[in-house]
Structure 1
Amino acid sequence: MPLQSSPQSNWLRSYYFTRALFSISWIVAAILSGGHTALVSTLLVVYPAWDAVANLIDARANGGLKANPSQTFNVAVSTITTVAVVLAVMRDTYAVLAVFGVWAVFSGALQLSTGVRRWRTYGAQWVMILSGAQSALAGGFMISQSFGAPLPGILDIVPYVGFGAFYFLLSAIWLTVAAYRQAKVVG
């Protein structure tokens, strides 16, 4: 039986709530951006940069980068993606969507791997596993859309970020409820 009230489990709940809040805030900013090029470009660059920083912080809080190879690789992939988005923003929105698609495939696979590894220790990782799988599939869809005729924009990325926010929030709630139930049983 996983330990639901460990310091790491408490960290994970806070981490998931923070990731959900950031994603929701990003979506609101994207919707309200009104297509302002500088703001849209900034949002597009900030999202993978945030993912790199968040994975780095989470890996360090859970034993370090060496103990978390999937997150270590995710930090590298998200950092490279940040640079690629900067370059893509200077080209066109098709390139941006393609970069986000490739990143979604890689980060989804890495999230899936991290969720599987954490399942044994913390439980309640089925949501993160499902999110990782859906991210990889969404990435494939974004890549295919980047070859389409309609000009893509930031709102084409909002559903991807929205599902991420949903899954992070659901994971945080799931772990919170599990800890509450365990505390009632123990107490």
Structure 2
Amino acid sequence: MQSRTSTLRNLYFARTFVQIVWAVLVIKGAFCPGVTAALLVLYPLWDVACTLFDLQSASEGRMILQANVALGVLTAISIGVTNGSHPTYAIASFGVWALAAGLLQLAVGLARRKQLGGQWAMILSGAQSTAAGVAFTLGGLSGKLHAKDLGGYAVFGAVYFLITALLLQRKLHQQPVESV
């Protein structure tokens, strides 16, 4: 259990860092459509990579994590296809992904809550991602949102990942060390 907790903690710290960097780049890159397009495709692919890493040691929520991988790949393709001709549709695709991924994250957080603890921030993050996804989808379809508007979403996600990583770190310090 300690190994799983440590693995998740490290993953969540990495996600925090990458999401902050992504948010800065997407906000700054809003003036360069090519960079912004690449960043929009990379975000769900980063989530896929993290989920695949998570799957290596996950015992809870495996089917949910697998669904998240498929969703992220399909989203990256959708964003890549729509971004050149209809950038607002790319935002809407990102929104649909955020909504669905938020629901999946909420489910995984609930599944992990009893086993690992320290998941309340992931549960809140899933709920917020779901709500943001609705807003991004509607904003993208109406042409009212732009890629730079997604930066705040990544920052909030990073904060939730950081909180969860710190909670897991605290749990690791409270547990006796496993014998090898």
Alignment partner, residue 11 of structure 2: 15
Q: 1:34 to 1:82 in 2, by over 3 A?
A: closer
C-alpha displacement of 1:61: 2.4
Alignment partner, residue 126 of structure 1: 120
Q: 1:99 aligns with which of 78, 93, 99?
A: 93
Q: 1:10 to 1:140 in 2, by over 3 A?
A: same
Alignment partner, residue 33 of structure 2: 37
Q: 2:168 aligns with which of 175, 182, 185?
A: 175
Distance across 1 between alignment mates of 2:10 and 2:155: 19
C-alpha displacement of 1:159: 1.3
Q: 1:115 to 1:149 in 2, by over 3 A?
A: closer
C-alpha displacement of 1:8: 0.2
Q: CA RMSD in A?
A: 1.8
Residue 31 of structure 2 aligns to a residue in which SS?
coil
Distance across 2 between alignment mates of 1:168 and 1:178: 15
Distance across 1 between alignment mates of 2:66 and 2:32: 34
The aligned length equals 177
Q: 1:103 to 1:34 in 2, by over 3 A?
A: closer
Q: Which runs of 4+ in 1 moved over 3 A?
A: 147-150
TM-score under structure 2 length normalisation = 0.91
C-alpha displacement of 1:156: 1.1
Contact 2:27 2:149 in 1 (8 A): no
C-alpha displacement of 1:155: 1.1
Q: 2:155 aligns with which of 139, 155, 162?
A: 162
**Greater mean alpha carbon deviation, residues 32-41 or residues 8-17:** 32-41
Distance across 1 between alignment mates of 2:30 and 2:67: 34
Distance across 1 between alignment mates of 2:31 and 2:131: 27
C-alpha displacement of 1:127: 0.8
Distance across 1 between alignment mates of 2:84 and 2:118: 41
Q: Deviations over 1:115-142 (max 9, x none)?
A: 1111111001111011001100110111
2:59 matches 1:79: no
Distance across 2 between alignment mates of 1:21 and 1:52: 16
